[in-house]
Amino acid sequence: MTTDLQSNWYPIASSSDLPKRHVYQAQLLGREFAVWRADDGYVNVWENRCLHRGVRLSIGINNGTELRCQYHGWRYANRTAGCTYIPAHPADAPARTICNNTYPAQEAYGLVWAGELAVGELPAIDGFESATVLRPVPIMAPQKMVNQALLGYAWDDTCESAENSDGSVTITATDGSAVRVFVQPVDSNHSVARALYNRKVAGEERIALLKRHSWLMQELRDRTETQAARQETPAPYEPVIAKVSEDLVDIPAISVDGRKADLRVQVARKEMTADGIASLRLEAIKDQLPTFQPGAHIDVHLPNGLVRQYSVTNGPGETDHYTIGVKREPDSRGGSVAIHDTVGEGDVLAISAPRNNFPLRRDAVHTIFIAGGIGVTPLIAMARALNAQGLEFEFHYFVQSDDHVAFKRELSEFEGALNIHKGQSPKETGETLTEVLANPGYARHVYICGPGPMLEATRQIAADKGWADEAVHFEYFKNTTELDDSNSFEIDLARSAMTLTVPAGKSILDVLRENGINMSSSCEQGACGTCRCGVIEGDVIHQDVYLSDGEKAEGRSIMTCVSRAASNRLILDI
């Protein structure tokens, strides 16, 4: 059902209904809203049901940056309402964009305004710039009847009333005092009169004002409800429950969005966060940025045509920007140098939506983060997420010197868990890691990100200390393996029923794309994991650094950008 009513702005709550960390239940034209203010002040007006199993979000928990559903702990981000975590599958990043329905909302004049299909800005309410919000009065009567009744509202003999073009009623007395009443149509036979008084008053005077109008409004309520009870009750509104998008129906399949950069961001701030490391705050040019999960990276398309991956360092709820850290690589092929030397504040960059191939489990009893140099960036986002949730972790950051410690402000959020190891030789680093990794155990997990040699060493130490493969999570920046693409073989695509030949010199990914099969990819050097694909039959020569040794031995996945067949034929799950 679409009506003209839906395109109007209505007050649905007073600002004072949204104290810190509260979730308020509102209703407009039969549709329930969960209304909550994040700690950054943003007011969210969402459909009042979790997309998973329909539980009201107004009974959820507002943790200041995210709203958590009471039923299964799904977390939805401030602003975007994108789902950031599904606790039942802690090892997966939510592969799909699960986003709750949000509605246009504004906070102004001490009221929260919303409209299901409202567009543009809330029109200015002249003469009420400095107003007092009166007590809202619920009335069991249709909105039109309440509006009509309000034309007779008066607190002294000089009051005159007039209906405004938006349907609200203004009552003015000769002394200049005025009240403007907006009627919120909660349902077809249920309204709330929300009024503004045109002067800011406080203390005793305010109490007296509220009392007086509550009394008068109560009289109006009684009259109107008596009148409404004599009429036939209109049928309640039947808000349509929007269907979830087609791609959410089934359990997640391989995404087919290719290497796209459909977001445009502006470099809002660029600063040196450590010696040789620039931090860039990227803000959306229009609309909102998609939801990210800790560990996610974005592809940044640079002015010189290169594409580079950078991890998002944001904490939970920081959804109005992405912050990345870029190290100037001495042997740069042009990516980091372009960012350091060419890109400046105010520049517009094309980026991809965040992708998470380094998901964070939040079901660990203890988490150990091991960062080397610029590898700290995804781990900062992870640590901030655990910290916000009050989960236990320790953070080890290996750097050359104090000058090389990046993102000090973000690190200070979890000072108690932070250990910075400065200027250690490879041997000393090994000793420190041996100590740090001394105790593997049930539900203990390690996340490692850093330069190749350090990563290799850390994984080796973890294996020696008895850490299970699946408890050790890592992300390489790049693949330094010498790639061999000299063989030729066939691939059978099980789901697409096609057989293709991969010649020497081309990757599986190239051949898939040439044949019109859209496959996601990002780094295209076997480091990021985006182009992962299932293997049904055949042996694989793994040349990536993404899969763990166990996964490589199992042979059930392949990185299509670099890895190849060891046999004549591979059957892929595409």
Partner 1 sequence: MSILKCSDPIALNLWYAIAPLDEVLIGETAQTILLEQPIAYTRNHTGEIVAWVHDVASGGNPETDRLPIKERYGYFWTSLGTPDADIFPIPEYDEQDRRNIHAASFGVNVSAPRLVENFLDMGHFPYVHTDILGAEPHTEVKEYFVEVSKERDEILATNCKFWQPMAAAVASGGMDVDYVYRVPHPYSAVLYKSNPTDPERMDVIAIFIQPTSQETLRVHMLLSLLDESNDDISIRLFQQTIFGQDKPILENQYPKRLPLDPRAETPIRADKSAIAYRRWLSDKGITYGVIPAAA
Residues of this chain that interact with partner 1 (CB under 8 A) are: 32, 48-49, 51-56, 59, 70-73, 86-91, 98, 241, 243-246, 248-251, 362-365, 391, 443
Q: How far is the CB of 100 from partner 1 (least distance, A)?
A: 10
Output the smallest distance, CB 546 to partner 1, in A.
22
Closer Cβ to partner 1, 48 or 458, answer by number: 48
Q: What is the DSSP secondary structure assignment for residue 129, as one 8-state letter?
A: T
Q: Closer CB to partner 1, residue 71 or residue 155? A: 71
Calpha distance 136→195 (Å, rounded): 7
CB of 362 to partner 1, least distance (A): 6
What's the min distance (Å) between Cβ of 273 and partner 1?
A: 31
- Strands in 149-189 per DSSP E: 160-163, 169-172, 178-187
Q: How far is the CB of 393 from partner 1 (least distance, A)?
A: 11
Which stretch of DSSP H or E encloses residue 500?
strand 498-502
Please, are residues 49 and 69 in contact by the beta-carbon 8 Å criterion? no
Region of 512 (left: φ > 0; alpha: ψ -120 to 50; beta: rest) is alpha
Is the Cβ of residue 22 or residue 72 nearer to partner 1 in the bound state? 72
Measured from the CB atom, is 32 or 299 closer to partner 1? 32
Partners of 172 in beta bridges? 160, 178
Distance CA 105, CA 120 (A): 10
Cβ proximity to partner 1: between 127 and 239 the closer is: 239
Distance CA 46, CA 53 (A): 16
Please say which residue, 73 or 430, places its beta carbon nearer to partner 1: 73
- The CA distance from 190 to 284, in Å, is 40
Distance of closest approach, residue 258 Cβ to partner 1, in angstroms: 24
By beta-carbon proximity to partner 1, the closer residue of 49 and 532 is 49
Q: Which is nearer to partner 1, 145 or 388 (CB)?
A: 388
Cα gap 351→237, rounded to integer Å: 42
Which C-beta is closer to partner 1: that of 27 or that of 313?
A: 27
- Give the list of residues 6+ apart from residue 535 with CB closer than 8 angstroms, or none: 555, 556, 557, 558, 570, 571, 572, 573
Nearest distance, CB of residue 440 and partner 1, angstroms:
17
Q: Is 105 in contact with 45 (CB distance < 8 Å)? A: yes
Q: Smallest gap, in angstroms, from Cβ of residue 49 to partner 1?
A: 5
Q: Is the dihedral of CA 529, 530, 535, 541 positive or negative?
A: negative
Nearest to 133 by CA among 192, 71, 189: 192
Write down how long the chain is. 574
Minimum distance of partner 1 from residue 390's CB (angstroms): 9
Distances (CA, A) of 505 to 24, 496, 510, 520: 60, 24, 10, 20
Sign of CA dihedral 454, 457, 463, 467: negative
Residue (of 192, 33, 190, 57) closest to 116 by Cα position: 33
To partner 1, the closest distance from the beta carbon of 516 in angstroms equals: 28
87 vs 466 by CB, closer to partner 1: 87
Residues 6+ positions from 229 with CB-CB distance below 8 Å: none
